[in-house]
Each structure stands twice: as C-alpha cells, then as structure tokens.
Structure 1
Amino acid sequence: MTPRLIFTADDLGLAAEVNEGTERAHREGVLSAASLMVGEAGFEEGVRVARSNPDLAIGLHLTLTDGHPVLPAARIPSLTQKNGRFRDDMASLGLLLALSREARAELAAEVAAQLARFAETGLRCDHVNAHKHYHLHPHIAAALMQAAAGAGVRAIRLPNEDPAMPRKADPSSRKLPSALLNGWVAVLRKRARNWGLAAPDRVLGFAWSGAFSADRLRAVLPLLPGGVTELYFHPAMRGGFAGSAPGYRYADELAALTDAQVREAVSGLPRGGYAAMLG
C-alpha cells in the first residue's frame, strides 16, 4: 500500500513569523495543511495566508492553554487567569474539568466560539486538533468531537506515534510513554468514529516536537508504511517571537519542509490535507 502523507503546520495565526514561515513551507516546500489559532495576534494575517493559498488545507488548532480565548474571560472564569489569558496549569485545569459541571459548560462554550470564529472566515475546516494535544483530555475530546461534528468537520488529529519509528530514524530521539498514550488514543479513535470523524493511521512529530529537522525527516520518510501518516511541524522564519515556545527550532522545521531531498523523496507520493488523504 502506498503511503499517503499529510504535512501539517501548527500555530498558523500565532504571529507574523509563523504565518510567513507557513506560507513559505507550502509554496516552496511540501507543506499541505495548517492548523489555525483563531484567538491570537496573527489570526487575520493567518486567514490571508490561507485564502492566498487555496491548495493549503486549513483546520482549527483549538487553543485552551498558553493563549487567548475568543469569549470574554469573564464568561469563562474557570478557564482563564486574571490577565484574561487561558490558564497554563494544564493538569489542574484538567482535574477541574473532571470535577466541575460548570467548568465543562464553559469549555463547551469556548470550543463552540472558536469553531464559530473559524466559520466566519469562510474557509473550509479540513480538520481539528488542539494546542499541546490538550484534546487528549477526555472532556476536551468530547467537547471538541461533538462541536466539530455539529459544524460539519470530518477529521481530527489523534497523536498515535509508533515509538520505534523516530528512534530508528534517530536513536537520540526522546522516549515517550507510547504504549499508554496509544492505548488511550485507540479509545478516542472509536469515539471519534461515533461522531463521524476520521483520523490518520499514524502521526509523527510528538517525539520531535519543536525539533523535526531535515535530517530526521529525510531519515524517517523511507520507514513510513502504507496508509495515511500525518507529520506535523512548527515552521517559522525565526524564534523569539511573542508566544514562541522556549527551545523550539522553528527555522530548522521550516528548513525541513523546504529541503530539496525531502521534496524529491515525496514527489511521487499522494500528499494533501485530511479530506484529500482520508476521503
């Protein structure tokens, strides 16, 4: 079976550096999809990038931490800090969502608001996922799946990464609790199907988040089996911008997506967004 590839950029709309890097990765490289943050400073420019590149499939990058809400913070006090930003204590918020019906109601309202803001752009929502994979939380997953299905979205990222693959490509790759994670992802996959949401067969980028270099990409491409694989990146022109993650090698990830050897390696393979590859 021929590999079918989705090359995705997360954080479109976060900052000008990310928007420019995403556009370059698509126009000059192999990037085929991007996930849009709808509450951040670069949102409007990110939408312009999306409209100017109709072959770039655009999805929602749901943000519930390390960012700004779409709803007024006063309407979702369980989710926000005094400065109006989302809470950054993901574990504590996760526990609150498990215990508080009120917090879950606020969550559902904010998820719906982010999907509504995406819809206002007129762009087709190719897929959904969440910043920092926060939709692995059962209540966030439930809220996102229900709202996405109601909005007509048909695909979701579920980060089931085979731990052997990144370590075979680069033995220095960090180890993750993949057996536990992938067991839970299998549960989420069944729940997603119940909502009519499809997911790629596998995802790559978790072990290399912020450090998915050209060397690693060139090494892992020949290892990919048949079926649909999503490879996700964080391309940007440079690091150090407002909202950037410490230690992320943004320019290196952009270089990976525009690498000449990578372009040659995937030139004969099906490549696109979720709808095109999963349809």
Structure 2
Amino acid sequence: MRRLILNADDLGLAAETNEGIERAHREGVLTAASLMTGEAGFEEGVRVARANPDLAVGLHLTLTDGVPTLPAARIPALTQKNGRFRDDMAGMGLTLAISRAARAELVAEVAAQVARFRETGLVCDHVNAHKHYHLHPNIAAALMRAAAGVPCLRLPWEPGHLVRAVEADAPGTGEWAIRPWCRVLRRRAARLGMVAPDRVVGLAWSGHFTAERLLGVLPHLPEGVTELYFHPATSGGFPGSAPGYDYAGELAALTDPRVAEALAGVARGGYTAMLLPNAA
C-alpha cells in the first residue's frame, strides 16, 4: 500500500511561509509541516499549528542559515558576529568533528530547540533539519538523543530513478553516497524507537516542486511510505528566503485541483499517521 506524507519545511520562518503553509493545508493537500523555533515567525507558526489540528507538526532543527534559540554568546563556535548561525556548513561540520567544546554547544542548542517546541504544548510528530544538516553524524546523534520520545524523523534519500522518470536530465542529489549513510542512521534511530519514511522526493526539485512535477512523479511512487517535501509561501523575497526559490509555485502545486484529484483514494497524512498507523 502506498502512503504519502506531504510536508512543508520552514513553518515559523516568516509571515509568507506561515500563510502559505496554512493555505496549502486548508485549501490543498499538505498534511504536515516542520517548525523552526528561532525565527521571527515562530509565534505565528505556533498559531497556525494550533488552528489546524489535522496538520501534523514537527521540529525543523536549524543550525545554519538561521537564528539560534540560545543566545549567540553561549554558542560562539556555532554562530557569527551578527548573532546568526554560521553559513559555512562544511567548515562548521569540521569544527564539530574536531572540537569537544563545539559539540557541547551543539548539544545545548539542539536541546534548547527541542525544549522550545515542547513548551508550545504541540505534539511533535517528527524531526528533521534545515538543509538536511542532520546527516552530519554529530548533529544526528544530538538530535536523536534530545528528541527522545518523538516517533519519526526524515532521512533524505531520494531515488534518482523517480525523478528521472519525470525529467531525464534532472540534477543528481548524491544518492549513491547518501543511501548507505541513511541506512546507518535508520538503524541507529530504530534502536531509539524512531522510524523514517522509505524515501523522500523533492530534493532535486527543492524550491521548484511544481504541479507538473508532482503530477508526473505520483504514478511512479512505489509501495511503502514516501515523503514529498515542499517550501510553500505566498511569495518570495522575505528575510530568510532562499534566492531563486519559487515559493508561490510550490503553494500553487499543493492547491492545484489536478493534484487533489490524483491523490483521491491515496492514504496521506503526517509522519506518525503514515509510519505508525496503529499508534496514530
């Protein structure tokens, strides 16, 4: 049986993302969203989550290209002089690998983000990370420990053949390297009682997951649980937006009547509902 999670990242980033996510859920097919805890739109994102109880909401851990939950002075190895997280992901990844002090700061910040989510009173459906930074082994370990009790997480492996079935010249996403590491993380997560979708679709089309691409890939999705991930917003150009992303186009995809028709009769919901249906 095919089961789908249609998830939006960046709830809480800005008014534009909050409104886009709410519209994609109320007027379209969106079933889940991932909440950032340090951004300007956090409180409004929480309001959106509370006003839409059928929208499964999880934590979108942010450790780059964003605002920390702890004061920047407490986590100097992770932040810039402007108080934001470092944007050099490779450099920060190396810092985490070689510096015990940096790893201690990481553990503290991850715990603070998990705690801030829990303080909202929302049920945490899942965890994942901005720019999939939880593929870093130290970040993955910190997140899995801090999120004890959260049942589900994202492991961002995208089968290239699904994307190429729609667009033969679609860019690769390094699946040959990511897949074996995701298998390792899946086993580690399972030991902590966490499960993940079988695959993710949307990496190659990140920020450009149009209705045509969604309609094209849906017939090719195999049995099991697939997460399709999006970045809907009412418009781009807001603080924290990614240059070149077609936010409004992704919102249009999620509210397209053709997509709703194509999904008629297909099981879809949040991570927990799709991965652990007997527990949901």
Structure 1 length normalisation: TM-score? 0.98
Match of 1:212 among 209, 215, 220: 209
**1:177 Cα deviation from its structure 2 partner:** 1.7
Match of 1:168 among 160, 165, 170: 165
- Check if 1:123 corresponds to 2:122: yes
Task: Please give the per-residue CA displacement for 1:44-81, whole angstroms capped at 9, x wherever unaligned.
Answer: 00000000000000000000000000001111111011
Please give the alpha-carbon distance, in whole angstroms, between the structure 2 residues aligned to 1:266 and 1:36.
25
**1:95 Cα deviation from its structure 2 partner:** 0.3
Task: Please give the per-residue CA displacement for 1:164-191, whole angstroms capped at 9, x wherever unaligned.
Answer: 1011112232122211111111111111
Give the corresponding residue for 1:248: 245
Matches within 5 A, 1:95-134: 95-134=94-133
Matches within 5 A, 1:257-276: 257-276=254-273
Give the corresponding residue for 2:183: 186
Please give the alpha-carbon distance, in whole angstroms, between the structure 1 residues aligned to 2:177 and 2:91.
21
- Check if 1:9 corresponds to 2:8: yes
**1:160 Cα deviation from its structure 2 partner:** 1.1
Equivalent AA in structure 2 for residue 66 of structure 1: D
CA RMSD of aligned residues (A): 0.7
Equivalent AA in structure 1 for residue 119 of structure 2: E
Please give the alpha-carbon distance, in whole angstroms, between the structure 2 residues aligned to 1:90 and 1:115.
21
| Secondary structure of residue in 2 paired with 1:184 | helix
Please give the alpha-carbon distance, in whole angstroms, between the structure 2 residues aligned to 1:4 and 1:224.
10
Give the corresponding residue for 1:278: 275
- Check if 1:236 corresponds to 2:236: no
| Secondary structure of residue in 2 paired with 1:95 | helix
Identity %: 71
**1:267 Cα deviation from its structure 2 partner:** 1.5
| Secondary structure of residue in 2 paired with 1:200 | coil
Matches within 5 A, 1:18-167: 18-149=17-148, 152-167=149-164
Aligned residues: 276
| Secondary structure of residue in 2 paired with 1:159 | coil
Equivalent AA in structure 1 for residue 203 of structure 2: F
Task: Please give the per-residue CA displacement for 1:64-116, whole angstroms capped at 9, x wherever unaligned.
Answer: 00000000111111101111100001100000100011100100000000000
**1:194 Cα deviation from its structure 2 partner:** 1.2
Task: Please give the per-residue CA displacement for 1:119-146, whole angstroms capped at 9, x wherever unaligned.
Answer: 1111000000000000000000000011
Gap regions ≥5 residues in structure 2: none
**1:264 Cα deviation from its structure 2 partner:** 0.7
Please give the alpha-carbon distance, in whole angstroms, between the structure 2 residues aligned to 1:175 and 1:71.
36
2:5 touches 2:270 (CA, 8 Å); kept in 1?
A: yes
Gap regions ≥5 residues in structure 1: none
Please give the alpha-carbon distance, in whole angstroms, between the structure 2 residues aligned to 1:172 and 1:215.
15
Equivalent AA in structure 1 for residue 242 of structure 2: A
Please give the alpha-carbon distance, in whole angstroms, between the structure 2 residues aligned to 1:101 and 1:142.
14
Please give the alpha-carbon distance, in whole angstroms, between the structure 2 residues aligned to 1:217 and 1:269.
14
Equivalent AA in structure 2 for residue 229 of structure 1: T
Match of 1:200 among 197, 202, 208: 197
